[in-house]
Structure 1
Amino acid sequence: MQNDIKAGVLLPAGQAQWGGGTDPRELLPFALRAEELGFASLFVNDSLLTPRIEALTMLSALAAVTRHVELGTGALLPFLRRPVQAAHSLASIDLLSGGRLTVAVGAGFPGRFGRPLYELSEVPWPDRFTRLDETVSLWRRLWTATEPFSFHGKLLHFDDVPPSVRPHTPGGPPIWLGGATPAALARTGRHYDGWLPYPPDPADYRTGLDTVHRAATAAGRPPEAITPALFVSVLVDDDPVRAHRAMDAYARAVYGLPLDDLRKIQAVVIGPRAEVAARLREYTSAGAHHLVLRLGGLTLDEQYAQLEAAAEILPELN
């Protein structure tokens, strides 16, 4: 077993997790508690379809109050923002955090959580993967430029782009790709610094990671240059019936889906501590090195309880 397993938490920045009269500024003490408990990272997700603290705003606040925990997006949807402006924002967060930023990105997916976002952003749905890859290429160029440059892709065209503030991380923060379609696996291996999927079956994680590694090798890249991560929903409770009931309520509130349907499309691990730890180890045995835990709680008090419970599992992941 590798002894470099990291575990982070998804900050409950959505109103569904801190609603009910809670002041969202209480998310900052929550983040500090996660850092104190030994979590390696704090991630935030991105959407316009449900009320939440905007992802880059949240990361800016976290950069100011935390000291050593890594900060990440899980996942950022670049099409929601103008690409040059987003590059400046990300470079600024990386600079202000002292190089602690990781940017996991996605292109959205069919259904009510994908296409409507493109309509709100006034960006066409076709060629969304090309748009994502070109945006990332533009960011990387901007983060290293020392003088104005031009960028001409299939979809993005810019002339006389002025250099950005330099990120703290040379070349810019690492960029991971979310997704597990064959095309996403190939693109991860060719172009990205990490992989952040959420397959329900650890066996599918292993198969996907093997495909990523083959694509990296074919592109002349070392497979070990790609961080294998996992996005997984977790709820720890000694009572399996109560655990199922609580996570079902979470799934319905966040996704509008019953738990049994969510489990068909995303990694979900619930139950007593030993069972949760054992299931997570199945993913680390399959190759995952950085786990991003989304805690199943619909109030900040419940999130705190799950944070403490999940922290007890950390030593059991290696």
Structure 2
Amino acid sequence: MDIGVLLPTGTAQWGASDDPRELIALSRHAERSGFSSLFVNDSLISPRIEALTMLAALAPTTETVTLGTAALMPFLRRPIQVAQSLASIDLLSGGRLTVAVGAGFPGRFGRPFYKLSELPWERRFARLDETVMLWRALWDGADSFHREILRFDDIPRMTPPFRAGGPPIWLGGATPAALARTGRLYDGWLPYPPDPVDYASGLRDVREAAAGAGRAAEDITPALFVSVRIDADVESGRRALDAYARATYGMPLQELEKIQAVVAGSADDVLERLGRYVAAGVRHVVVRLAALDLNSQRDQLERIADLIPAVRAARDHAFTSAGS
């Protein structure tokens, strides 16, 4: 059972006097505190440290944690150049990179980004899948690539990643098409469904698609992206999450929780809710800390670190129950 943390790389999560270079110290503290992964997100919604730049800075300053994206939006970058960047980070980290990808969302969370990237919004999912296929081909030494959308000849020799075949690539998303594509093509699944019941049903669909493609369920890591706030009680936790949602997304919590997994309350409340996701099949939790300055982020990180043994025990219980 892996428990990771999403680093607060966006300015919406920084206080007025915060120094973004403190993110390195926060990352090292998370590693020492027992977190097994550090993730960064990728967006143009608000100013932030660019995702791959942040991971490159973490590669030599951390030792054992997985470094990941949640989620990288490949359409913001040229596909061959990003293959080189990802391979370089994988090399510098000694093979600790995991790449979760997404195609963006309608409205201000996606379509305008495609315009800025000079790419069509249409067929974005096919473009995403082909981009991932291109990366894997380049990491295997291909010098050409020909699919329906992406076509390249005479590609120079690519920097090889640390691991043969390159880092694992996960897909975010929970539509029926995304579940099928995850099962067929990807190494992991990183959604954020508000209800653990929906996670369980989605994971079943992913595994059915994997079986249909001749893949084993163990080939796909079931992960979860969830915003967490540990506070005195549910009411105070929800107030803090509401402030976080408004600062980060420009929407109240009651709207955000319709589309994303959020957990608030006392440590026991949070543990109970996370335990429901673990029982639904989650094996890698990526926690987003619902706090709006780096000191508060550190405080939330330490509170969640105290829950890591109990979350792992919940996983062991779920595994034993499934086996019996």
Under TM normalisation by the shorter chain, which class is it?
over 0.9
Q: How does 1:294-309 map to 2 (within 5 A)?
A: 294-309=288-303
Q: 2:25 aligns with which of 15, 29, 41?
A: 29
What is the CA–CA distance in structure 2 between the aligned matches of 1:87 and 1:14, rounded to whole Å?
24
1:143–1:163 Cα contact (<8 Å) kept:
no
What is the CA–CA distance in structure 2 between the aligned matches of 1:270 and 1:47, rounded to whole Å?
25
Which residue is equivalent to 2:225?
Answer: 231
Corresponding position: 1:85 with 2:72? no
What is the CA–CA distance in structure 2 between the aligned matches of 1:315 and 1:150, rounded to whole Å?
47
Corresponding position: 1:115 with 2:111? yes
What is the CA–CA distance in structure 2 between the aligned matches of 1:187 and 1:258, rounded to whole Å?
32
Corresponding position: 1:293 with 2:287? yes
What is the CA–CA distance in structure 1 between the aligned matches of 2:219 and 2:233, rounded to whole Å?
41
SS in 1 for 2:60: helix
Q: CA deviation at 1:49?
A: 2.2
Which residue is equivalent to 2:4?
Answer: 8
Q: 2:188 aligns with which of 194, 197, 203?
A: 194
What is the CA–CA distance in structure 1 between the aligned matches of 2:98 and 2:272, rounded to whole Å?
27
Q: CA deviation at 1:242?
A: 1.8
Report the residue type matching 1:177 in the other structure: L
What is the CA–CA distance in structure 1 between the aligned matches of 2:309 and 2:251, rounded to whole Å?
32
Which residue is equivalent to 2:69?
Answer: 73
Identity %: 64
Q: 1:311 aligns with which of 305, 308, 314?
A: 305
SS in 1 for 2:69: strand
Corresponding position: 1:247 with 2:232? no
Cα deviation digits, residues 251-272 of structure 1 (max 9, x gap): 0000111001111100000000
Q: 1:130 aligns with which of 110, 126, 133?
A: 126
Q: CA deviation at 1:90?
A: 0.1
Cα deviation digits, residues 103-153 of structure 1 (max 9, x gap): 0000011111111111111111001001000000000000010xx622111
What is the CA–CA distance in structure 2 between the aligned matches of 1:187 and 1:244, rounded to whole Å?
34
1:49–1:117 Cα contact (<8 Å) kept:
no
Which residue is equivalent to 1:170?
Answer: 164
Which residue is equivalent to 1:283?
Answer: 277
Which residue is equivalent to 2:139?
Answer: 143
SS in 2 for 1:149: coil
Report the residue type matching 2:65 in the other structure: V
What is the CA–CA distance in structure 2 between the aligned matches of 1:76 and 1:169, rounded to whole Å?
20
Corresponding position: 1:155 with 2:155? no
1:213–1:223 Cα contact (<8 Å) kept:
yes
What is the CA–CA distance in structure 2 between the aligned matches of 1:241 and 1:75, rounded to whole Å?
30
What is the CA–CA distance in structure 2 between the aligned matches of 1:171 and 1:103, rounded to whole Å?
13
Q: CA deviation at 1:249?
A: 0.3
Structure 2 length-normalised TM: 0.95
SS in 1 for 2:226: strand
Report the residue type matching 1:185 in the other structure: L
Residue-pair matches, total: 312
What is the CA–CA distance in structure 2 between the aligned matches of 1:273 and 1:163, rounded to whole Å?
51
Deviates more, 1:30-39 or 1:237-246: 237-246
Which residue is equivalent to 1:17?
Answer: 13
SS in 2 for 1:112: helix
Which residue is equivalent to 2:321?
Answer: none
**Unpaired segments of 5 or more residues in structure 2?**
314-324
SS in 2 for 1:231: strand
What is the CA–CA distance in structure 2 between the aligned matches of 1:226 and 1:92, rounded to whole Å?
24
Report the residue type matching 2:216 in the other structure: P
Cα deviation digits, residues 154-190 of structure 1 (max 9, x gap): 1111001122111011100000000000000000000
Let me know the Cα RMSD of the aligned residues: 0.8
